[in-house]
Amino acid sequence: MIGQRVSHYDVIRSLGSGGMGVVYEAQDTQLGRRVALKFLPKDLSSDPASLERFQREARAASALNHPNICTVYAIGQHEGQHFIAMELLEGESLAQALAGRRFGIGEVVDAGIQIADALESAHAKGIVHRDIKPGNLFLNARNHVKVLDFGLAKFDAGGPAAGSGSRATDETIAARQDLTTPGTAMGTVSYMSPEQARGQFTDARSDLFSLGTVLYQMATGALPFQGDTSAVIFDAILNRDPAPAQQANPSVPDELGRVITKTLEKDRNLRCQSATELKTDLLRIKRDLDSGGRRAAESGKRTAESGDSRSGPAKAPDRSIAVLYFENLSGVKEDEYFRDGITEDIITELSKIKGLNIFSRPTVLAYRDKPVTPAQIGQQLGAAHVLTGSLRRAGNRLRINAQLIDTRTDFPLWSERYDREMADVFEVQDEIARKIAEALRVTLSPQEQAALAAKPTDNLQAYDLYLRGKSYARRLTKHDLQFALQMFENAVAQDPNFALARAALANVCALYFVNYEREKSWMERALAAAQKASALQPELPEVQVSEAWMFYAEKKFEEAIQRVRRAIAVKPDCEGAYYLLGRSLFAAGRYQEVANIAEAAVAAGGEDYNVYVPILNALGALGKEEMRRSFRQRRIHVLENQLRNVPEDVRARVLVASDYAKSGREEDALREANLAMALLPNEGTILYNVACVFCQLDKKTEGLAALSKAWEAGWKDVEWTRNDPDLSTLHGEPEFERMYPEKT
């Protein structure tokens, strides 16, 4: 085939072959990209089962759009030979990478997260892979995993390949493949689930068993179920329990060993029940490994030197706590900002105690106002304890109920009711932190006691104004920034030494300068506020972010990047820090660095949809469309959730319009864009994003008109506008070049 043209593909070289096909590298002459062409061998083209499997692979993969699943572009025929055009991958299969060795624990966990994420997407579409094994998993040089070969995939009724065959035929193909050659080492057989081995009905949990087998092999360098013949392997799968992974490799943390064991349960009802559950377990382990202390993952790890689990160190008590957002009993939506602020401050207070392991604000944000039990939180997050509570504010009175619950026993370790004056709110936060430490037998150091006693301000009214301003500043529209500015100015007037409020004031002024009015007075106000905040508390992460905004507004992007990274190093979920870092890197043209921080930014940002903006723009500039589509779908979920809770958030509305446009939902996109423009017809950022929506829908005239209105309304960020790939179609237009001229 080398040198031939197949349809509109020029075949360049052979990449390898297997039982179900020969793969070539080819050039797509229409789109100018390299692809992989997989041909079904001629001798199999007349075999209905082989042809069905080949076509099934294309149907399944093309129905999925996920960064960890190999993309299928097309299926076709050439001179009687069937072929699939798919994404060209560079690297090696996991089977090649294993080659008798075991992987590092971090590598095992990272790979498991990626594969589980891919299976989560497939299972959500009703697709069960049924052949997860190292040969069908591909690694590139950066250990990015791709799931391949959906040839044995099973589709639920009505799925993307409905009518692909009877269940009996599907199960027979899956369960009996490679079983007719006794006395030889088996490939697929070693990774089968018990139900596959018996030829029984399979579901998503079968994939999880196979993935557990892969993870066990990666972690230990050996298969959990071994034998010289298929019969011996089957017997092991059906009747024998493998040695725990941490016994086969003492460096495996107990928690990872437990997760792998759960995936290898022979009874599927006792097995890990979903890819989401497995991914959550692995993400928790990754968090613990990345934390440096390896709190839960290594608390009971056996020492390799002794080879005796009894000689290892005693397990430290698990003092992990998830602080759930307190319930607002006042029933007044206006009090939501206060409830959120109190909860987040309690998280901050508890984080000051080194003996406790506190889940970050973004982690628990997903559970806000959701009907979840402590046991569910314990299972999903791995939290040993949950702090729940409620508050009611009435005039100058504040009632707070708090309860610390053991997630394993559902037994309260401590509870308290506070009925105080509003002025005592900081004392209540301090006391809650101390009581929790006492309940978990953590002794506070003098430094920790001093840190807990420190208050952000002595003025409760200033604190209330600050919390209210924060809830509006996050939306970034001109109207919302003006309201936030008023709140922060009033807070500073109440307490001139309130560093957090001064930093927030600096941020708003800088944003107003960048996004709306390039008037010198805005920067003067921003600089004055930032300098006063720095003089009060220079090491406060929020203060460092405000200083970074000064650099950004002055187009000193490198200085902004360095300063905001200092803040993130101390407090990863610091308000707006990752958004500013991504925006600074993007403005500096350092797109790949934005892509590199994308996952960390989203994890730290929680429901802050702003953090996605520089990420999506950078991925577009890099041409990483697959990754960009994935992040866009994630942002759609965040934005739709925001609009359910805060329908008046116009910025969220225009951003979801943009995402709808890119996802092919033109009617939804136009509806949301026009509604956003009607709600705030003179907002620069809103008009700018509406222009992006029109350009995405190939409505160039409307896009240029909206962008002109945005410019008149104060949107003057030249670097951002010229680098935005959504507006590339306007480059060269006289009006565009007048407003946003290219640097010479």
Domain count, the chain: 3
Nearest CA to 320 out of 288, 357, 374, 373 is that of 357
Supply the range of the domain harboring residue 143. Answer: 94-305
- Assigned domain for 614 exists: no
Whole-number Å distance between alpha carbons of 655 and 608: 12
Looking at 420, 453, 486, the residue that finishes a domain is: 453
Looking at 241, 272, 305, the residue that finishes a domain is: 305
Nearest CA to 91 out of 137, 132, 57, 129 is that of 137
Q: Do 101 and 67 share a domain, yes or no?
A: no
Give the tokens for residue 260. 């792998």
- Assigned domain for 593 exists: no
Helix (H, G, I), strand (E, B) or coil at 389: strand
* Structural contact between residues 362 and 603, judged by C-beta atoms closer than 8 angstroms: yes
Q: Look at the pTM and tell me if it is higher than 0.85.
A: no
Whole-number Å distance between alpha carbons of 320 and 294: 12
Cα atoms in the 13 Å half-sphere on the side-chain side of 636:
17
For 462-504, how does the pLDDT look when each residue is reduced to its tens digit (9 = 90+)? 988 998 898 888 888 888 899 999 999 999 999 999 999 999 9
- Assigned domain for 512 exists: no
- Assigned domain for 733 exists: no
Helix (H, G, I), strand (E, B) or coil at 321: strand
Look up the CATH number of the domain holding residue 58.
Answer: 3.30.200.20
Whole-number Å distance between alpha carbons of 245 and 504: 50
φ and ψ of 415, to 5 deg: -150, 155
Give the tokens for residue 330. 């006042």
Residue 55 is predicted with a pLDDT of 73
Residue 22 is predicted with a pLDDT of 81
Residue 182 is predicted with a pLDDT of 30
Residue 101 is predicted with a pLDDT of 67
For 497-542, how does the pLDDT look when each residue is reduced to its tens digit (9 = 90+)? 999 999 999 999 999 998 888 889 999 999 999 999 999 999 899 9
AA letter at 217: Q
Q: Do 124 and 13 share a domain, yes or no?
A: no
Question: Locate tokens 């864009």: which residue?
Answer: 673
Residue 207 is predicted with a pLDDT of 93
* Structural contact between residues 312 and 302, judged by C-beta atoms closer than 8 angstroms: yes
- Assigned domain for 392 exists: yes
Please say if 131 is a catalytic residue. Answer: yes
Q: Do 127 and 77 share a domain, yes or no?
A: no
Residue 351 is predicted with a pLDDT of 85
Q: Do 260 and 364 share a domain, yes or no?
A: no
* Secondary structure (DSSP) of 530-559: HHHHHHH-TT-HHHHHHHHHHHHHTT-HHH
Residues (pLDDT < 70) of the chain are 17-21, 42-47, 49-50, 53, 57-58, 61, 100-101, 141, 151-188, 290-317, 331-335, 744
Q: In what order do the strands lie in the sheet with 145-147?
A: 92-93, 137-139, 145-147
Q: Do 109 and 143 share a domain, yes or no?
A: yes
Q: Do 183 and 38 share a domain, yes or no?
A: no
Residues of 436-470 as b/e, b for ≥16 C-beta within 10 angstroms? bbebbebebeeebeebbeeebbebbebbbbbbbbb
Q: Do 292 and 402 share a domain, yes or no?
A: no
Residue 595 is predicted with a pLDDT of 92
- Assigned domain for 675 exists: no
Q: Do 428 and 400 share a domain, yes or no?
A: yes
Q: Do 77 and 129 share a domain, yes or no?
A: no
Q: Do 291 and 404 share a domain, yes or no?
A: no
Look up the CATH number of the domain holding residue 247.
Answer: 1.10.510.10
Q: Do 168 and 121 share a domain, yes or no?
A: yes
- Assigned domain for 103 exists: yes
Distances (CA, A) of 373 to 365, 387, 658: 15, 11, 36
- Assigned domain for 493 exists: no
Whole-number Å distance between alpha carbons of 34 and 681: 45
Look up the CATH number of the domain holding residue 339.
Answer: 3.40.50.10610
User: Which member of 28, 117, 131, 170 is catalytic?
Assistant: 131
AA letter at 564: V
Angle at 126 between CA 205 and CA 238, to 5 degrees: 25
Of all residues in the chain, what percent are helix, strand and coil, respectively (each to 5)?
55, 10, 35
Other Cβ atoms closer than 10 A to 96: 12
Distances (CA, A) of 670 to 118, 389, 465: 31, 42, 37
Residue 163 is predicted with a pLDDT of 35
Q: Do 106 and 81 share a domain, yes or no?
A: no
Looking at 42, 71, 87, the residue that finishes a domain is: 87
